[in-house]
């Protein structure tokens, strides 16, 4: 259910911030050796959505892959922005196609429906976050909360719209992201046990700290967005919400 999504805490306001486009792989002006290397790199390591259309043959040409990479990035950026602004139910595939300036064939070459586009936008965020959470399992109790805060700042810097998108999802989309989301939530929840055992949490409870993070982390990022001292203000605010005075001394 949407209320259990722990990046946004149910934030549903209109968003005007757009993340930078990831662009494509440039092959112009390269010599034969480097071009050959890039050809093999693209063929073996690019994402399935780019290398393998939903219909048609595997893409092996770097030039075609570059074009598909740009189209894919544009659809993700435009679609995510529209969903955050209007809500998922009020945005159609046709709206995304029109805003991105592409065709139905292009859209459906990447995605079967808009839920797949959402999953593609959110999947890397959840996977990156879950991996970082596993790394934080090995740090000291005092370093856990600052590590979580830094992670949210990093994710916001690169995936602001994707993080905001979670607050406007409906139940029809959740099955597409359930595994990645649940993996993230499980890793995040487990991180609070060690600080709680050491008396470092303001609430004294891992469960309450988990709830506070889920309901405040992204709204505060949005509130401070654009401020020249955003990172410092965000860190101070989140530390005040989550940590005891004992924990603050170890920031």
Domain ranges of the chain: 14-113, 117-248
Q: Whose structure tokens read 């949490």?
A: 201
Best CA proximity match to 70, nearest among 106, 113, 18: 106
Give percent above pLDDT 90 in the chain: 53
Decide: helix, strand or coil at residue 202.
coil
Which residue ranges of the chain lie beneath pLDDT 70?
1-62, 64-65, 245-251
**Chain segment 165-183, per-residue pLDDT in tens:** 988 888 888 899 888 888 8
Residue 167: per-residue pLDDT = 82
**Which among 137, 239, 243, 144 is positioned nearest to 200, based on CA atoms?**
243
Evaluate whether 133 touches 191 at the Cβ level (below 8 Å).
Answer: yes
Judged by phi (left if over 0) then psi (alpha if -120 to 50, else beta), residue 87 lies in left
Rounded CA-CA distance 95/134 in Å is 38
Compute the distance between CA of residue 201 and CA of residue 195 in angstroms, rounded to an integer.
Answer: 6
CA separation for the pair 50, 72 (Å, rounded): 7
- The whole-model pTM stands at 0.73
- Fold observed for domain 117-248: Tetracycline Repressor; domain 2 (1.10.357)
CA–CA separation, 222 and 204 (whole Å)? 27
pLDDT of residue 56: 55
Task: HSE, CB side, 13 Å, CA atoms: give it for residue 240.
Answer: 8
């Amino acid at each position: 259910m949407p209320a259990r999504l722990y990046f946004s805490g149910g934030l549903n306001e209109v968003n005007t911030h757009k993340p930078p486009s990831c662009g494509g792989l440039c092959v112009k002006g390269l010599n034969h050796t480097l071009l050959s290397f890039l050809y093999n790199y693209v063929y073996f390591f690019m994402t399935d959505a780019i290398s393998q259309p939903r219909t048609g043959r595997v893409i092996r040409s770097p030039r075609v892959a570059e074009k598909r990479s740009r189209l894919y990035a544009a659809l993700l950026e435009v679609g995510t922005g529209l969903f955050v602004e209007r809500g998922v139910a009020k945005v159609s595939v046709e709206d995304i196609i029109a805003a991105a300036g592409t065709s139905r064939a292009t859209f459906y070459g990447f995605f079967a429906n808009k839920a797949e586009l959402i999953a593609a936008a959110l999947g890397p965020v959840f996977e990156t976050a879950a991996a970082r959470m596993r790394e934080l399992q090995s740090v000291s109790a005092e370093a856990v909360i600052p590590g979580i805060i830094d992670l949210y700042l990093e994710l916001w810097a690169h995936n602001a719209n994707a993080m905001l998108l979670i607050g406007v999802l409906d139940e029809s989309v959740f099955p597409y992201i359930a595994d990645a989301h649940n993996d993230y939530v499980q890793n995040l929840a487990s991180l609070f046990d060690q600080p709680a055992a050491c008396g470092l949490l303001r609430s004294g409870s891992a469960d309450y700290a988990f709830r506070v993070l889920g309901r405040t982390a992204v709204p505060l990022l949005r509130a401070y967005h654009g401020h020249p001292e955003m990172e410092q203000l965000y860190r101070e605010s989140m530390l005040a919400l989550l940590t005891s005075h004992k924990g603050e001394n170890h920031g």
